Homo-oligomer: A and B are copies of this chain.
Amino acid sequence: MSLNEEIEILCADARSASRKLALCSTEKKNAAILKIAEELGKESERIISANALDLAAAERNGVPRAMLDRLRVDEGRISGICDSLRALAVLEDPVGKSETWSRPSGIEITRVRVPLGVVAIIYEARPNVTVDSAALCLKTGNAVVLRGGKEAINTNTALVEVIKKALEDSGMDPHAVELIRSTDRESANILMTMRGYIDVLIPRGGKGLIKNVVENAKVPVIETGAGNCHLYVDEEADIDMALKVTLNAKCSRPSVCNAIETLLVHASIAPKFLPKLAAEMKKYNVELRGCPKSCVLIPDATPATEEDYLTEYNDYILAIKVVDTLSDAIGHINKYSTGHSEAIITENKENGEKFLREVNSAAVYVNASTRFTDGGEFGFGAEIGISTQKLHVRGPMGLFALTTEKYLVRGEGAVR
C-alpha cells in the first residue's frame, strides 16, 4: 500500500468517526476527556519509556538543548497535561448553541453551532500538542488527524494508543483520533491534499512549517503563529512603564510568537529612554540592531537593515527604530507587521485610542505587554493556536474556532 493510500484510509476512517462524534452529547464527550486523563495517569510509565527512546535518538542526532526540553515528558508534565484535560472538560461546549427566528413566509430558522468535521494538525516536537489537540477537537465534536514531528514519534504513538483505548472504553469510535506514523515530509504534503476528508488544517509550529502549509495545502487552512510584533514608546510614555513592558515583551520568552521583534521609539523620548533600555537589555544579552538615530544613542547597537524589520527573530535580538510621529509608528507597523500583536506605551489617552483604532493587527495593546495574546490569558480556557488571518477567526483560537454554523429550517410545506 502506498503512503498516499495509507493516509487516505486513515482520513476516511476519521471522516466516518467524525459523523458519529458530531452527534455525541456534551456529557459523553466530557466523560471521554476525563477518561483520557485517567488513562494517561495510569500509563505514565509506558509514555515516559517511549519518550526515553525519542530523547535518546534526539541526543544522538545532536538536537539542540532547547528542543530536547520541549520534547521531554516526565511525571510532572503528564500530570500537567491531565490537569488541563480536566479543566477542558468543565468548559462550555459551543456545539449545539443556537438561535431561532420565524419569517413571514412561514418558515422557522434555527442557526446552530456544529463541529467542523475533521481537523488535521501538523506540528513539531512538543508531545503535549498531541493530547491537547486531540482533546480540543474531541470537546468540539471534531475528529482529528495528527501529524507530529519525527523527534516525538515514539511518544506520540504511545499517547495516541492511550487516547484510543480511552475512547473505546467511553463507547466512542477510536478513529476519532488518528496519528500518521510516517514523519517524512512527504506524509505532511499528502495530508495537505486530502480534499473531501479534511475540513480544516491547522499548522502549529515554526515559520518554515507554517509557510509550507499555507503555500501548498489544497484543503482549507487556518494560518497561525507568525508574530513580527511591535512595541511603540510614545513621546508621552511613562519611562519606567515603558522599560518594564519592553523587557517583558522581549525577554520573558523570546521564542514565542507574541514576543516583540521591533521597538519603535518617538524621537523626543528616545534620548532619555534608549540608553536606559540598552542597559537593561545588556543584562539579558539582547543584541540590538538600530536605525541611524538609535545607533547614535546606543553605541553598542549594530545597524538594522530593511530585512531586520521584516524578521521574526524568536531570539534575543531586537530591532529598533526612532520615529518622528505616532502616525509614522502606525505606518511602520501596518507595513512590516504580520498582524499578530502590537503595543503602545503612552499616558496620552487620545494617542492610545488612535493606535488601537488604526493598527491593523489581531491584538492591539495600550500600556500592556504583547505577551498576553494567548487563549488562557484572554480567558478562553483553551487555545489551539493564534490566528493571524482575518477570515473565520482572528487572534487566540478557543473552542468556538473549531466549530461552524448550520441553518435548520422547518416549514409546513412552505414554498417561495
A395 touches B407 (CB 8 A): yes
Query: Considering only CB atoms, which chain B residue lies closest to A416 in the complex?
Result: B371
Contacts of A199 in B (CB 8 A): 390
Given A407-B362, A414-B367: A220 in contact with B372 (beta carbons within 8 A):
no
Please give the distance in Å from A115's CB to the nearest CB on chain B.
10
Query: In whole angstroms, what is the CA distance A269 to B317 when docked?
Result: 73
Contacts of A138 in B (CB 8 A): none
Query: Considering only CB atoms, which chain B residue lies closest to A391 in the complex?
Result: B392
A408 touches B364 (CB 8 A): yes
Stretch at the interface among A174-182, A244-252, A305-313: A244-252
Given A19-B358, A358-B19, A372-B416: A404 in contact with B391 (beta carbons within 8 A):
yes
Is the C-beta of A197 less than 8 angstroms from some C-beta in chain B?
A: no
Contacts of A409 in B (CB 8 A): 363-366, 368, 372
Contacts of A372 in B (CB 8 A): 103, 105, 107, 409, 411, 414, 416
Given A19-B358, A415-B248, A416-B252: A368 in contact with B220 (beta carbons within 8 A):
no
Contacts of A249 in B (CB 8 A): 415
Contacts of A352 in B (CB 8 A): 410
B379 touches A101 (CB 8 A): yes
B200 touches A367 (CB 8 A): no
Is the C-beta of A241 less than 8 angstroms from some C-beta in chain B?
A: yes
How many copies of this chain does the complex contain?
2
A390 touches B23 (CB 8 A): no
- Contact indicator per residue, chain A 232-244, by CB within 8 Å of chain B (1) or not (0): 0000001001001
Contacts of A371 in B (CB 8 A): 415-416
Chain A 353-403 residues near chain B, CB threshold 8 A: 356-358, 360-369, 371-373, 377-379, 389-392, 394-395
- Indicate the member of A105, A248, A408, A412 with the most B CB atoms within 10 Å: A408
Please give the distance in Å from A216's CB to the nearest CB on chain B.
12
Query: In whole angstroms, what is the CA distance A367 to B106 when docked?
Result: 11
Is the C-beta of A213 less than 8 angstroms from some C-beta in chain B?
A: no
- Contact indicator per residue, chain A 29-68, by CB within 8 Å of chain B (1) or not (0): 0000000000000000000000000000000000000000
Query: Considering only CB atoms, which chain B residue lies closest to A18 in the complex?
Result: B360
Please give the distance in Å from A36's CB to the nearest CB on chain B.
26
Query: In whole angstroms, what is the CA distance A142 to B6 when docked?
Result: 45
Is the C-beta of A282 less than 8 angstroms from some C-beta in chain B?
A: no
Is the C-beta of A267 less than 8 angstroms from some C-beta in chain B?
A: no
Given A220-B389, A416-B377: A411 in contact with B360 (beta carbons within 8 A):
no
Given A364-B406, A364-B408, A410-B368: A222 in contact with B391 (beta carbons within 8 A):
yes
Contacts of A407 in B (CB 8 A): 362-364, 373, 378, 394-395
Contacts of A392 in B (CB 8 A): 391-392
Query: Considering only CB atoms, which chain B residue lies closest to A223 in the complex?
Result: B220
Report the 5 A-B pairs with minimum CB-CB distance, sorted nearest first. A368-B411, A248-B415, A241-B413, A371-B416, A368-B414
Cβ contacts A to B, 24 pairs, < 8 Å: A116-B391, A117-B390, A199-B390, A200-B390, A244-B413, A244-B415, A247-B415, A252-B415, A361-B406, A363-B407, A364-B408, A364-B409, A365-B411, A366-B409, A367-B412, A367-B413, A369-B411, A369-B414, A371-B416, A372-B409, A372-B414, A372-B416, A373-B407, A395-B406
